[in-house]
Chain A
Amino acid sequence: MRKLSMRQAVNEALHTAFNSDENIFTIGEDIAVYGGQLRCSYDLLDHFGAERVRDTPISEIAIVGAGIGAAMIGRRPIVELSYMDFIGVCFDQILNQAAKMRYMYGGRVSIPLVIRTQCGAGLGNGAQHSQSLENILSHVPGIRVVMPSNAYDAKGLLLRAIRDNNPVVFVEHKALYKKKTEVPEEPYEVGYESEVKCQGKDITIISYSAMVNVALDAAEQLQEEGIEAEVIDIKSIEPLDMKPILKSVEKTGHAIVVHEAVKKSGFGGEIAAQIQEYAFDSLKKPVLRVTAPDIPVPFARNLELAYVPDKNHVIEAVKKTLN
């Protein structure tokens, strides 16, 4: 099968979406002519025109607000935030508007809105363009948060998110854009359920987004050392599918969580808490978290490399847990 980068896969999903439903449109900074800071919306303007593919001013409040308003009256907007860090600029529209509307109005409105953005460190973008802020979003009931780990899932999850009648923040890790995986040409969807990426009997490694690949690399090396790790990609922070995780922990008795976001109040805490809440009797050791340290993302190459969790951090945590 042909291979596509995650950027190409997202682009293909967008073309499919635009070709399938005239209610779908997209707005964002530099997305039309320039192809976006995310570089995924290239060709969309050429194929679908300036009415449905619009460059905006640098106005994140208006970008998200426009998406909410259009979604409330039946359109299906895909709005782009150039960097996830920019949710700080427009957080009211996410926190108090998009996330609250349906519940606050007694279930009488739907907000079929997709907010696409990129997260993650590793490319020297510094403290304000490199964060993974999914847990800030997951703390707000009413908003879905989806984080693909590869090109195949990105295409399928994005099409799923576009059909979702709820606001979805779709978070693409910038270090994954060039990574290629097999991607079918025909349209398909990937669900929000957690997926067991490789099976093992000794320890469960739970991860999402770019860190899934780090976890898989670690599992491969551990295999050579006779340790069988089961790696689970949760794909979606909200909704969170815990079933495969609990089932796995019941089998392995050990678990670690790996994510790129900082540790304190990070999503790893939530997963660890749920494991002890629902599978305490299966646990032989505490659930460790492999994360970035609790500092802003540093700039210098060596500092940033030290900041982002790597295979060795995962292996170290696995061995600490098993010994």
Chain B
Amino acid sequence: METKLSKEKMLEMYRVMIRIRAFENEAIELAKANITRAAVHTYNGEEAIAVGVCAHLSDKDYITSTHRGHGHCIAKGADMRRMFAELMGRETGYCKGKGGSMHIADLATGNLGANGIVGGGIPMAMGAALGLQIAHQNNLSVSFFGDGASNEGSFHEALNMASIWNLPVVFICENNKFGISTSTEKSMNIEQISDRAKGYGIKGLTIDGNDLLEVYKTFAEVKAHVLSGKGPVLLEMDTYRMSGHYFGDNENYRDRADVDKWKEKDPILRFESVLTEEFGVAAEELKMIEKEENTAVLAASEQAKQDPEPAIEDMMDDLYDPTFEEIAWQVFVKG
């Protein structure tokens, strides 16, 4: 179990959190300039979850993501230029400009895709786990989704099916307290979303999703649990959406005082304190990482801006796969 962390590993995770934050801040700038065209849902304040979880995943482990999916993508190893290009609707984007911010998939890194439908990816993550189980592959599937998605039917059906078949899947509920404007107090009548695990006979737990080390250590245990055939897990991450639902949200549904309170629990600031105070990392070293990542993000954004738009002639492509699988049909004689 990967619970012992080297300094290098911790700094690498710090770097990915910084990268996500820098990416999102640049995405906001692009949205302000109307270069991204449509809504950009940023992951600010939730970085520790994607980073702490994906640090345990290989390219053969699958994730499904959400409309707020840039962080998952980056944590799974996506290329930022291709991500920016997709946000800008460029030919070089992950989806050749046909998807946009809410629809980035990257099968090479095991990312089965972000999803514009709340709860839409949860059954598919369960299905990927079924596919792994049937092929006897010792990997797992992880579904990221929000508190709002836990009120969708897809969530309940997927957890139940995963449970009865003991599928290697972890359901990660990023409870950031709001579905657009509607708070969890208004949208559900339970203390913790992880309580819903009981209804399906699976393990459920809630942890501090803004504490990178807690996320990292807990997920190591959860992964071991799932891969040892003990069944799926519902892991609720207590976190907060530091930004609005998307850039331009007037946020009339919440108190600034609450937002400020949560900003003190910013997962990046907290991890910086841990690194400097408990592990003796120099503040300059962290500043250097931040500078490097900011530079890389801006370079990726600039490159993407120079990239061409998709050709109109290619608009009709990619709807269907023109191929048929080569299968030699073998007649089956019933005994």
By a beta-carbon cutoff of 8 Å, the part of chain A in contact with chain B is 12, 15-21, 23, 25, 27, 43, 47, 51-52, 54, 56-57, 59-62, 64-77, 92-93, 96-97, 101-110, 112, 141-142, 144, 159-160, 162-166, 185-187
Contact = CB atoms under 8 A, between A and B. Distances in A.
Nearest to A93: B123
Contacts, number: 192
B332 A92 contact: no
Contact of A69 (B96, B141, B157): B141
A106 B94 contact: yes
B253 to A, nearest CB: 26
B320 A20 contact: no
A186 B318 CA distance: 34
Contacts of A72: 107, 112, 124, 127-128, 131
Task: Determine the main DSSP class of B at the interface with A.
Answer: loop
A5 to B, nearest CB: 16
Nearest to B124: A69
A59 B157 CA distance: 6
Contact of B131 (A74, A101, A109): A74
Given A21-B327, A56-B161, A105 B128 contact: no
Contacts of A101: 105, 113
Q: Which of B112, B124, B321 has the most CB of A within 10 A?
A: B124
B327 A65 contact: no
Given A23-B135, A73-B132, A106-B97, 17 more contacts: A15-B334, A25-B134, A57-B157, A62-B126, A62-B158, A69-B62, A69-B64, A72-B128, A73-B128, A101-B105, A102-B321, A108-B105, A142-B320, A144-B320, A164-B324, A185-B331, A187-B329
Contacts of A17: 327, 329
A16 B98 contact: no
B291 to A, nearest CB: 33
A19 B124 contact: no
Interface string B35-51: 00000000000000000
Contacts of A52: 134
Nearest to B141: A69
B153 interface: yes
Contacts of B123: 61-62, 64-66, 68-69, 93
Interface of B: 62, 64, 93-99, 103-107, 112-113, 115-117, 120, 122-135, 141, 153-154, 157-158, 160-161, 164-165, 317-321, 323-332, 334
Given A65-B122, A186-B331, A54 B128 contact: no
A66 B328 CA distance: 26
Contacts of A185: 331
A70 to B, nearest CB: 3
Contact of A104 (B103, B130, B132, B321): B103
Nearest to A142: B319
Nearest to B320: A166
B32 to A, nearest CB: 26
A19 B95 contact: no
B131 to A, nearest CB: 3
12 contacts: A16-B331, A43-B334, A54-B165, A57-B160, A69-B128, A69-B131, A73-B131, A97-B115, A103-B98, A104-B95, A106-B94, A187-B329
B122 A19 contact: no
A66 B126 contact: yes
A73 B167 CA distance: 15
B75 to A, nearest CB: 19
A97 B332 contact: no
Given A70-B131, A103-B318, A97 B95 contact: no
Contacts of B334: 15, 43, 47
A59 B115 CA distance: 21
A81 B256 CA distance: 49
Across the A-B interface, give the 9 residue pairs with the lowest CB-CB distance, nearest first: A65-B123, A69-B127, A107-B318, A187-B329, A70-B131, A106-B95, A66-B127, A69-B124, A62-B157
A97 B103 contact: no
Contacts of B106: 108
A165 B94 contact: no
B308 to A, nearest CB: 14
A187 B123 CA distance: 33
A57 B131 CA distance: 18
Contact of A65 (B99, B127, B319): B127
Contacts of A160: 324
B154 A20 contact: no
A1 to B, nearest CB: 15
A57 B325 contact: no
B332 A105 contact: no
